[in-house]
A and B are shown apart, each in its own frame.
Chain A
Amino acid sequence: MALYRVCFAVGLAVLAASMLAGFGRVLATEHQLPGLSRDPFLVAQRDLAHGREQTAAREYRTGAAVNRADYSIQLAAADGLARAHDLQGALATLDHAETLRPGDVRTQNTRGRAYLANGRLKEAFTSFGEVLRRAPGDADAMAGVGEVMLAQGRFPEAEAAFRRALQARPGDAALHDALAVTLAGAGRHAEAAGEFEQAMALGPSPDRAANLARARREAAAKP
């Protein structure tokens, strides 16, 4: 019983110290209390946003390796690895995801986005095309095709793809945003402002607000 009491005291002390340390770290580094998110890639996303690609890639790789049974974790890790420019890591993760859910179009769409994020436009187009052959109405794949076209400066094709995607998934702020960028790229600033307005109404963000203001200025300057 005495040994149990010692174990209990040590365990309690370690736990109490851990909680204080956890609070202290978040307060010191983020100037707020730990949030309620349970996303294990929370820090990886932050690292990525701040350009710390190697640190982010390490987090994504570890997450994928520790939780190999979770399909959504595998997809999120692959997406993060691709954005951290570890294309090989992303593709290997997607190969494993394919074994978890054979034939799931989300794997192929993520593969397309991985190629796209790394400038491999031809492979990205092929990946999205494969999805569209299997699921012709898939909004993610249509949006992917739109992104490939946009990256090549092929504005009419990009516009057509984003409009088709919006037909399949109306009310998607990101799709309105992508269409607005396409229209702005084509010099159709008044129409772009309209799409940015819709994107803002559906999902406001500082970037969208800035883009909307710029599109309005451009539209006013070149009616």
Chain B
Amino acid sequence: MSTATSVAPPARAATFALDPGRPFVSRTFDYAVIGGGLSLLVVAALKLGAEAALTPLLLANLGVVILLSNSAHFAASTVRLYTKRDTFRDLPFLTMGLPLVTVLVLGLAVAWPQAAGLHLRNLYLTWSPYHYSAQAYGLAVMYGYRSGGGWSMADKRLLRLACVCPFFYAFLGNRDVGLEWFVPAAVLDVPVVHAVRVGLVVVLGVASFVLPAGLFLRHQTGGRPRLPLISLMVVMSNGVWLVTLPYMDAFVWATIFHGLQYLAIVSIFHVRERMALPGNTRPWWRHAGGFYLACLGLGYLLFQVWPHAFVLAGFGFVESAMLVTAAINVHHFIVDAYIWRLRRDPNYAVVRPAAALG
């Protein structure tokens, strides 16, 4: 998720006043689900020894939990693409060309799993942390706009830098994907290269938390347009997901909370747009429920049913299941990069404080 608008920063008095941010739904909901507060509580519980109780509970219900959160979130970008106004006109390749391209790429990958499939999988795993970071940036900026702050390009660049640190951390630190996908092991094993890489991973891990905190303090005390607290929380949560959880073997929690965060914000946009349509008589919950049910249904079809079609065509289940997942991820990343653009887009009406209903 990313945004693109630029407004000149208005002058502000240099006072310290904490801005919690203007919520879309309510302060509790926004902080818990969109801000990632719930995920931070779970991570804290895992760190404090609740892993033995929480992990078996999650594993026992993993299929249902993944369907309700993760699968539905992947489907949500597609449902949003086809339910958003004028997308067939404005985004013809995305709406009409990309599905066929995805099917073709997936077909090639499944047919040659170790030659092509491996790279599709690596692409998805390398891109994934960037997608997480872009979502954090998009949400942080959205809350910034809702708080009424005008942002300079420099402010946005600094915020983006703070958001992409966890991505670069994952890119440099992850095994077999990211940097290791592009650079031969012989080069990475050179002692100097290895030392620089390890050092950068440490620096980026620390920067993932120090940079957003520093930016937040600078905004609070420097008389600049204020970065609301919920924006800081969104960015920090992303840092926790990408930096902390992989080392705890608990990254599945991050995918669940990322999915919840995404489903919440995309549903809010969908509902606000539908409620604003002339002649709308339906209550908000019917729009939200219908949207979520469509996401659930599509998520089930894509992840649970589609792989079996490849098996029927003579391919193995394992490559079908793994590569369908990879293809859906990449499709989601591409679609997501376009459907959240705010400039000259109805999305902006939902973000503007004047349009806020929450």
For A67, the chain B residues whose CB sits under 8 A away are 121, 322
Assuming the contacts A19-B306, A40-B317, A66-B118, asked whether A99 and B311 have C-beta atoms less than 8 A apart, the reply is no
Contact of A21 among B100, B113, B312 (CB under 8 A): B312
CB under 8 Å from chain B, chain A span 1-39: 1, 4-5, 7-8, 10-12, 14-15, 17-19, 21-26, 34-38
B319 touches A18 (CB 8 A): no
A122 to B97, CA, bound (A): 59
Contact of B303 among A4, A24, A38, A69 (CB under 8 A): A38
B312 touches A7 (CB 8 A): no
For B321, the chain A residues whose CB sits under 8 A away are 38, 40, 42
The interface residues of chain A, by DSSP majority, are classed as: helix
- Which residue of chain B is the closest to A64 with respect to CB atoms? B318
Assuming the contacts A21-B312, A25-B309, A65-B113, asked whether A36 and B67 have C-beta atoms less than 8 A apart, the reply is yes
B196 is an interface residue with CB less than 8 A from chain A: no
B96 touches A42 (CB 8 A): no
CB under 8 Å from chain A, chain B span 303-318: 303-309, 311-313, 316-318
A43 is an interface residue with CB less than 8 A from chain B: yes
B95 is an interface residue with CB less than 8 A from chain A: yes
For B95, the chain A residues whose CB sits under 8 A away are 8
A59 is an interface residue with CB less than 8 A from chain B: yes
- Which residue of chain B is the closest to A14 with respect to CB atoms? B103
A58 touches B96 (CB 8 A): no
A4 to B99, CA, bound (A): 11
A15 touches B319 (CB 8 A): no
B122 is an interface residue with CB less than 8 A from chain A: yes
B318 touches A59 (CB 8 A): yes
Q: Please choose the segment from B1-9, B173-181, B230-238, B270-278 that sits at the chain A interface, where 4 or more of its residues have CB less than 8 A away.
A: B173-181
B322 to chain A, nearest CB (A): 5
A83 to chain B, nearest CB (A): 15
B117 is an interface residue with CB less than 8 A from chain A: yes
A68 is an interface residue with CB less than 8 A from chain B: yes
